[in-house]
């Protein structure tokens, strides 16, 4: 997404001897705290935060792949605030000017709210505790914990707010002294800065108009589809566009515009890798496992059982994810330590002479020269002055708040989840500052958030310590939640502080807006989860898998089962897992070596994690995403200028429109309103049989 801020970024790179970003805003006074966090910004943040939380929830539950919503939140927040001001101008009501600092506060609050969808585990560890993800394992009551709204709000509040304080004493070291890039935060800041120039405001207005047109068209398409989905298997979501045989194998395009939009936002290597993984899964592995039916596993198992064919797919995907996560953890640790060493040795200068493509994954920022000059530029001096001048909290207060929240969590979490031990919670919070600092430093260098990787490691360690007989599956998942909630929120805060640093926004305002967004997210997301998932899933005539696929819940359940013990795993699972682990590790090593040595094939090598994800997703999801990438590729070939300017707006409109369409569909389900028509597709043979059967019925 960084490429949408190309022009401001080029300005920034030349500011040492050319155009300066802050010179353009030099005449504007820096607004006070009350002029930055205004009633206008709070109202816009609440509305947009709730709307994007619904969108993020739908994406997380259905595809398990959640793109960053920072750019849509900044763009739509800018538009809503400008619309508010325009309305006040029409009625000649006096108002404060809308500044880039207020825009930053809105973006921070909205992203903090919607980010709880990921760190709260609504599509991962939290849902993995329930009976639906457990499948046949649901009979083991000690390893099942159904989510409830009250417990979710209490748990999220404890772990999320502790993450706000764990790294607060290090903010100056990470952002001013080490001058870490935080690429996503930097790109968002450049975007916000560009909005508040005359040319940028015009472009932003056109982008928002495109976004809303895309959103309206997506909602209308969802409404049209709804009329033809009267029963299970009806509607365009089961359209066999690739033929009936491919449809039976799971290969079909289901017209889910969310996944199409995600495919437009992702690099081509991501969607191509997922498509490759789906082809390997359904073309090679699935037929092989089908041949082992009644030999390795029973034939009468349900489609959601982890003891059958689905279990093999889940554990193969888990093994590949763990291999790639381990490789990334070790590699990023090495690069981070090397960067810190070079920075200290060179007095703040760090040069990595390897160059590279900014789209190269996963370490695309390690190859960029850090912007550290011997003589700080005007922009550097002005930003550092504003950032250091406003203290968020005294360090001792931040440490005290973290200690109190840690103590409260140590007491409360075992009461919420009896399978968890107080000693394990206390040890996690004691180790969290060290790992959170390493993760935040790595995020600033590589733009990769490894909180979920640390969470998986905690899941394995705690699960093995507790044991399956004493509820080790749930204990491991809770440990994962504590780690992810704490570290993910601390990373988000550092990222937003970098955005605030580049937009001259007071760190205190950023922290307060992050806290407001976190509090909102801890309430809105559990309620959204309850309405969108549990009530809809339990609605009459709705099959769970037909509404949401929740692929990552099964992945996290599988990891927790591996950590707690081997009981309940299908025959030969560990043998297949070892093979998958070795293949994935070899793919990751080869891909990194190719990138470092600049082999020509480096840009075409598949991403290991994306191939692994395809093993737990229905084939239609990678197909939808691949269609989105193909559409973007063709658009860029025919009209590169408009594609670069408006592709993100179109994709964001698709994602938001599909999320709102799902919300409307949920309302109709809860109110027992059913579609009037069922449209189904049959093969020629089945159609002949159906006609013959209908001919035997009496005419009415």
DSSP string, 484-533: HHHHHHHHHHHHHHHHHHHTT--HHHHHHHHHHHHHHHHHHHHHHHIIII
* pLDDT of the residue at 482: 95
DSSP 289-348: HHHTBTTTB-TT--TT-TTSHHHHHHHHHHHHHHHHHHHHHHHHHHHHHHHHHHHHHTTS
- Going by C-alpha positions, the residue among 300, 302, 321, 320 that lies closest to residue 310 is 302
Per-residue model confidence as pLDDT tens digits over 535-593: 666 554 443 334 566 777 888 888 888 777 755 567 788 888 889 999 999 998 998 88
Q: What is the pTM of this model?
A: 0.74
Q: Is the pLDDT of residue 665 over 80?
A: no
* pLDDT of the residue at 297: 80
> Of the spans 432-446, 453-467, 478-492, 561-575, which averages the highest pLDDT?
478-492
Phi then psi for residue 293, to 5 deg, are: -60, 140
pLDDT higher at 43 or 240: 43
> Of the spans 107-121, 331-345, 439-453, which averages the highest pLDDT?
107-121
Mean pLDDT of 470-491: 92
Let me know how many helices (H) and strands (E) the chain has, helices first.
Answer: 31, 0
What angle, rounded to 10 degrees, do the helices at 620-638 and 640-670 form? 150
Per-residue model confidence as pLDDT tens digits over 581-624: 999 999 989 988 888 888 888 888 888 878 887 887 778 888 88
pLDDT above 70 as % of the chain: 84
Q: What is the mean pLDDT of the chain?
A: 80
| Separation of alpha carbons 56 and 73, rounded Å | 12
Q: Is the pLDDT of residue 17 over 60?
A: no
Lowest mean pLDDT among 42-46, 386-390, 629-633: 386-390
**Residue 245 CB coordination number (10 Å):** 10
* pLDDT of the residue at 189: 83
* pLDDT of the residue at 494: 92
3-state secondary structure of 353: coil
pLDDT above 90 as % of the chain: 22
* pLDDT of the residue at 137: 64
Q: Is the pLDDT of residue 662 over 80?
A: no
| Separation of alpha carbons 17 and 379, rounded Å | 12
Q: Which residues of 202-229 are buried (b: 16+ CB within 10 A; e: fewer)?
A: ebbeebbebbbebbeebbebbeebbebb
| Separation of alpha carbons 189 and 301, rounded Å | 52
Q: Is the dihedral of CA 282, 287, 292, 297 positive or negative?
A: positive
Lowest mean pLDDT among 170-174, 354-358, 402-406, 446-450: 354-358
| Separation of alpha carbons 562 and 468, rounded Å | 10
Per-residue model confidence as pLDDT tens digits over 176-198: 877 887 877 887 888 788 888 77
* pLDDT of the residue at 518: 95
Q: Is the pLDDT of residue 487 over 50?
A: yes
Per-residue model confidence as pLDDT tens digits over 357-368: 333 334 444 433
| Separation of alpha carbons 331 and 318, rounded Å | 20
Per-residue model confidence as pLDDT tens digits over 356-406: 333 333 444 443 334 333 446 788 888 888 888 887 888 899 999 999 999
Contacts of 479 by beta carbon, 8 Å cutoff, 6+ apart = 420, 424, 428, 455, 458, 459, 461, 462, 463
Structure tokens at 138: 């649901």
């Amino acid at each position: 997404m960084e490429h949408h801020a190309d022009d401001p970024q080029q300005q920034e790179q030349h500011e040492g001897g050319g155009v300066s970003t802050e010179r353009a805003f030099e005449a504007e006074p820096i607004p006070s705290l009350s002029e930055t966090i205004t009633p206008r910004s709070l109202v816009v943040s609440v509305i947009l935060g709730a709307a994007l939380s619904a969108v993020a929830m739908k994406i997380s539950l259905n595809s398990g792949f959640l793109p960053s919503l920072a750019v849509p939140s900044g763009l739509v927040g800018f538009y809503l605030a400008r619309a508010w001001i325009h309305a006040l101008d029409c009625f000649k009501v006096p108002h404060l000017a809308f500044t880039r600092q207020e825009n930053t506060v809105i973006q921070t609050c909205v992203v903090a709210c919607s980010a709880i969808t990921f760190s709260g585990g609504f599509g991962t560890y939290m849902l993995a505790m329930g009976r639906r993800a457990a499948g046949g394992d649901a009979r083991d009551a000690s390893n099942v914990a159904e989510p409830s709204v009250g417990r979710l709000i209490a748990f999220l509040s404890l772990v999320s707010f502790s993450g706000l304080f764990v790294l607060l004493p290090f903010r100056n070291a990470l952002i001013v002294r080490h001058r870490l890039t935080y690429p996503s935060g930097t790109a968002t800041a450049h975007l916000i800065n560009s909005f508040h120039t005359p040319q940028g405001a015009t472009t932003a207005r056109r982008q928002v108009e495109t976004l809303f047109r895309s959103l309206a068209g997506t909602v209308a398409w969802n409404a049209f589809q709804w009329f033809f989905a009267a029963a299970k298997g009806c509607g365009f979501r089961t359209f066999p566009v690739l033929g009936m045989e491919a449809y039976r194998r799971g290969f079909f395009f289901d017209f889910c515009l969310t996944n199409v939009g995600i495919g437009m936002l992702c690099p081509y290597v991501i969607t191509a890798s997922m498509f490759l993984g789906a082809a390997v899964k359904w073309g090679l592995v699935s037929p092989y496992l089908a041949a082992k039916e009644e030999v390795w596993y029973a034939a009468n198992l349900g489609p959601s059982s982890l003891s059958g064919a689905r279990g093999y797919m889940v554990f193969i995907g888990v093994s590949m994810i763990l291999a790639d996560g381990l490789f990334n953890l070790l590699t990023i640790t090495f690069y981070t330590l090397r960067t810190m060493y070079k920075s200290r040795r060179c007095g703040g200068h760090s040069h990595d002479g390897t160059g590279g493509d900014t789209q190269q994954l996963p370490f695309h920022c390690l190859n960029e020269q850090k912007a550290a000059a011997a003589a700080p530029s005007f922009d550097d001096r002005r930003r550092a002055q504003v950032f250091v001048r406003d203290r968020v909290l005294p360090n001792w207060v931040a440490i005290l708040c973290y200690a109190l929240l840690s103590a409260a969590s140590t007491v409360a979490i075992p009461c919420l989840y009896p399978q968890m031990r107080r000693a394990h919670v206390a040890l996690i919070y004691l180790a969290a500052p060290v790992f959170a600092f390493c993760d935040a430093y790595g995020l600033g260098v590589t733009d990769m958030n490894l909180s979920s990787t640390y969470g998986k490691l905690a899941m394995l360690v705690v699960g093995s310590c507790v044991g399956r007989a004493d509820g080790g599956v749930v204990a491991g998942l809770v440990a994962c939640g504590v780690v992810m909630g704490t570290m993910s929120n601390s990373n988000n805060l550092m990222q937003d502080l970098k955005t605030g640093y580049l937009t001259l926004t007071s760190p205190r305002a950023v922290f307060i807006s992050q806290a407001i967004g976190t509090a909102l997210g801890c309430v809105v997301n559990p309620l959204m989860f309850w309405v969108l998932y549990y009530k809809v899933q339990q609605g009459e005539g709705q099959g769970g898998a037909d509404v949401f696929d929740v692929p990552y819940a099964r992945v996290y359940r599988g990891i927790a089962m591996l950590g707690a013990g081997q009981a309940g795993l299908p025959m030969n699972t560990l043998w297949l897992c070892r093979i998958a682990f070795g293949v994935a590790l070899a793919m990751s090593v080869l891909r990194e070596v190719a990138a470092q040595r600049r082999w020509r094939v480096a840009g075409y090598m598949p991403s290991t994690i994306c191939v692994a994800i395809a093993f737990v997703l229905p084939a239609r999801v990678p197909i939808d995403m691949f269609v989105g990438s193909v559409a973007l590729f063709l658009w860029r070939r025919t009209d590169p200028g408009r594609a670069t300017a408006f592709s993100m707006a179109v994709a964001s409109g698709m994602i938001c429109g599909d999320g709102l369409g799902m919300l409307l569909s949920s309302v109709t389900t809860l109110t027992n309103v059913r579609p009037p028509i069922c449209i189904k597709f049959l093969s020629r043979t089945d159609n002949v049989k159906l006609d013959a059967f209908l001919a035997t019925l009496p005419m009415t």
